């Protein structure tokens, strides 16, 4: 006789487990501890098998509608009928259950965060340390908390967009674009390694508001440059910072490359600075020809910091380079606002004027260590245009010295005194 809800509720545990049969292979097993488990007994391939259908009362005898969503929730009898339909089609429901569990476990194991960290580990050696640090911090702060635990194959474009919108909502539109770009790279890596079939980031092209071009504030007027150089000579902060301010326009490397410079990278007798690939944005060794003025400044500074590792050691510890805010802070102290000039602006200054002066554009780009468009050439041409670059760097230093010794200073703010 089929079971009833009353019979099931009133079933009390005994010394040994016992069964209450509903028919068609379905029965309820009551354990000595009081647990009530639905089981389905069937035969497949000549063997008797059993399939667990859930625990009572979470799984009732009959199905029901969910009060909140209105969705139908299968009861034990519903599950039995589905299993019997599989058997009628020559399918073992137990094997289907195993396959589903295996797939579910596999998908859970390949979470977005797991795949992302694997992708990061495979690629970080190709990035400058600072670049790699920014990527992983961005993912940890803005992406992992929201979709990190989700199986990467289950992440949809709407879910990804919701994550990007959270970044955008705080006004960090550029960060949102960069995060989306990184997510796209991670999805493509997942596709290549067989853990996803498509890249939802590609579907979000145009979904975020466009970023505004970021222009590093710079000074390109020759008269204003001359004033700047004279003001630097009057800087009354530390000598290390003063030398960094002197060298920045002469070598026009990226601020991080300058402040992390190490004495072992310099050959002052041959007037050359070789920045190792590990410290360059594009992971390619970069040669900086040094002008007479640059060598003079470095020899003067060597007497003070030459016994240590860093050319520009930090104020608190000689074991660390100067802070990333030191040069910009010095410029503010000299009266230049963040809208007028930044440490990165010395690169724009050199690029603009050297191009105006007619120097070979390729030599300028090579000296700025911009990305090489031709990957094959980039593999061996870090010294490309070196003779011309040596002439250019000395001519640039002579030009700056001429500006520094030129017109009288026009004071713009009380702190700019010659």
Which phi and psi (to 5°) does residue 262 adopt? -115, 145
119 and 73 within one domain: no
- pLDDT of 351: 93
371 and 276 within one domain: yes
299 and 199 within one domain: no
User: What would the pLDDT profile of 9-66 be if each residue is shown by its tens digit?
Assistant: 999 999 999 999 999 999 999 999 999 999 999 999 899 999 999 999 999 999 998 8
| 316 is an active site residue | no
Q: Which of 177, 204, 231 is the last residue of a domain?
A: 204
Task: Provide CB contacts within 8 A for 318, sequence distance 6+.
Answer: 305, 308, 309, 310
* 212 inside domain: no
Q: Which of 106, 127, 160 is the last residue of a domain?
A: 106
Q: Which two tokens mark 393?
A: 């760097």
H or E segment and range at residue 48: strand 47-56
**Exposure of 264 by Cβ count < 10 A (0-12 exposed, 13-18 middle, 19+ buried)?**
exposed
- pLDDT of 62: 93
- pLDDT of 414: 34
Confidence of residue 312 (pLDDT cuts 50, 70, 90): very high
- pLDDT of 296: 97
Is 50 exceeded by the pLDDT of residue 85?
Answer: yes
Whether 242 contacts 232, CB under 8 Å: yes
Question: Which residue among the candidates 177, 281, 283, 390 is catalytic per the annotation?
Answer: 281
Whether 39 contacts 27, CB under 8 Å: yes
User: What would the pLDDT profile of 220-244 be if each residue is shown by its tens digit?
Assistant: 999 999 999 999 999 999 999 999 9
- pLDDT of 381: 54
359 and 238 within one domain: yes
357 and 237 within one domain: yes
Is 70 exceeded by the pLDDT of residue 115?
Answer: yes
Nearest partner of 314 among 369, 375, 244, 364, judged by Cα? 244
Rounded mean pLDDT of the chain?
88
231 and 91 within one domain: no
284 and 153 within one domain: no
* Range(s) of the domain holding residue 251: 222-404
CATH number, domain with residue 84: 3.30.160.390
121 and 71 within one domain: no
| 215 is an active site residue | no
- pLDDT of 97: 85
Give helix 76-88 / helix 93-109 axis angle, nearest 10°. Answer: 110
Is 50 exceeded by the pLDDT of residue 408?
Answer: no
Question: Which residue among the candidates 195, 260, 344, 404 is catalytic per the annotation?
Answer: 344
* 211 inside domain: no
Whether 352 contacts 222, CB under 8 Å: no
Task: Provide CB contacts within 8 A for 219, sequence distance 6+.
Answer: 225, 228, 340, 341, 345, 349
Confidence of residue 147 (pLDDT cuts 50, 70, 90): very high
Coil/strand/helix, residue 65 = strand
Is 90 exceeded by the pLDDT of residue 376?
Answer: no
170 and 233 within one domain: no
Q: Which residue has the higher pLDDT, 128 or 375?
A: 128
The structural domain count of the chain equals 3
- pLDDT of 310: 96
- pLDDT of 245: 96
As a whole number of angstroms, the distance between CA 170 and CA 343 comes to: 27
| 166 is an active site residue | no
Sheet of 266-267: strands edge to edge? Answer: 266-267, 272-275, 286-289
Whether 63 contacts 47, CB under 8 Å: no
How many residues are recorded in the chain? Answer: 418
Integer angstrom CA distances of residue 180 from 113, 138, 159, 221, 253: 14, 11, 12, 38, 29
- pLDDT of 27: 96
CATH number, domain with residue 360: 1.10.443.10
Q: Provide mean pLDDT across the span 296-305.
A: 96
Q: Provide mean pLDDT across the span 360-389.
A: 73
Tell me the CB-side half-sphere exposure of residue 70, using CA atoms within 13 A. Answer: 0
| 254 is an active site residue | yes
Question: Which residue among the candidates 254, 260, 286, 293 is catalytic per the annotation?
Answer: 254
Task: Provide CB contacts within 8 A for 239, sequence distance 6+.
Answer: 301, 304
User: What would the pLDDT profile of 252-268 be if each residue is shown by its tens digit?
Assistant: 999 999 999 999 999 99
| 274 is an active site residue | no
Q: Provide mean pLDDT across the span 71-89.
A: 92
Question: Which residue among the candidates 122, 170, 309, 370 is catalytic per the annotation?
Answer: 370
Coil/strand/helix, residue 49 = strand
H or E segment and range at residue 223: helix 222-233
Question: Which residue among the candidates 16, 215, 316, 380 is catalytic per the annotation?
Answer: 380
12 and 28 within one domain: yes
Confidence of residue 336 (pLDDT cuts 50, 70, 90): very high
Which phi and psi (to 5°) does residue 48 adopt? -85, 135
100 and 9 within one domain: yes
CATH number, domain with residue 120: 1.10.150.130
311 and 256 within one domain: yes
- pLDDT of 379: 45
Question: Which residue among the candidates 347, 366, 389, 404 is catalytic per the annotation?
Answer: 347
């Amino acid at each position: 006789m089929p079971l009833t809800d009353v019979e099931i509720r009133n079933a009390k545990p005994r010394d040994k487990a016992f069964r209450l049969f509903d028919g068609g292979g379905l029965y309820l097993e009551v354990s000595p501890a009081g647990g009530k488990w639905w089981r389905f007994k069937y035969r497949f391939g000549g063997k008797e098998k059993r399939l667990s259908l859930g625990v009572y009362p979470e799984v009732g005898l009959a199905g029901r509608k969910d009060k909140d969503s209105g969705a139908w929730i299968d009861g034990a009898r519903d599950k039995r009928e589905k299993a019997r339909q599989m058997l009628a089609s020559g399918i073992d429901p137990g094997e289907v259950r195993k396959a589903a569990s295996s797939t579910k476990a596999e998908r859970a194991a390949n979470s977005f965060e797991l795949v992302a960290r694997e992708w990061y580990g495979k690629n970080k050696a190709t990035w400058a340390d600072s670049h790699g640090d920014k990527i992983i911090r961005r993912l940890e702060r803005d992406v992992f908390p929201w979709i990190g635990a989700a199986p990467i194959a289950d992440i949809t474009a709407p879910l990804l967009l919701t994550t990007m919108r959270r970044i955008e909502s705080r006004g960090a539109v550029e960060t949102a674009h960069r995060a989306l770009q990184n997510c796209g790279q991670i999805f493509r890596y997942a596709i290549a390694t067989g853990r996803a079939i498509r890249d939802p980031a590609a579907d979000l092209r145009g979904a975020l508001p466009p970023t505004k071009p970021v222009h590093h504030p710079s000074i390109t007027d020759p008269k204003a440059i001359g004033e700047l150089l004279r003001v630097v000579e009057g800087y009354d902060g530390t000598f290390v910072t003063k030398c960094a301010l002197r060298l920045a326009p002469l070598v026009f490397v990226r601020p991080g490359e300058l402040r992390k410079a190490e004495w072992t990278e310099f050959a002052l007798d041959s007037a050359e600075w070789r920045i190792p690939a590990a410290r360059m944005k594009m992971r390619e060794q970069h040669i900086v020809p040094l002008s007479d003025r640059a060598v003079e400044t470095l020899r003067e500074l060597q007497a003070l910091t030459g016994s240590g590792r860093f050319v520009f050691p930090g104020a608190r510890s000689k074991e660390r380079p100067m802070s990333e805010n030191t040069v910009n802070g010095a410029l503010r102290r000299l009266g230049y606002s963040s809208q007028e000039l930044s440490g990165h602006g010395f690169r724009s200054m050199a690029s603009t004027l050297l191009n105006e002066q007619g120097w070979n554009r390729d030599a300028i780009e090579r000296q700025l260590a911009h990305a090489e468009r031709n990957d094959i050439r980039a593999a061996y041409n870090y010294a490309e245009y070196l003779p011309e670059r040596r002439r250019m760097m000395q001519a640039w230093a002579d030009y700056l010295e001429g500006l520094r010794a030129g017109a009288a200073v026009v004071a713009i703010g009380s702190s700019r005194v010659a």
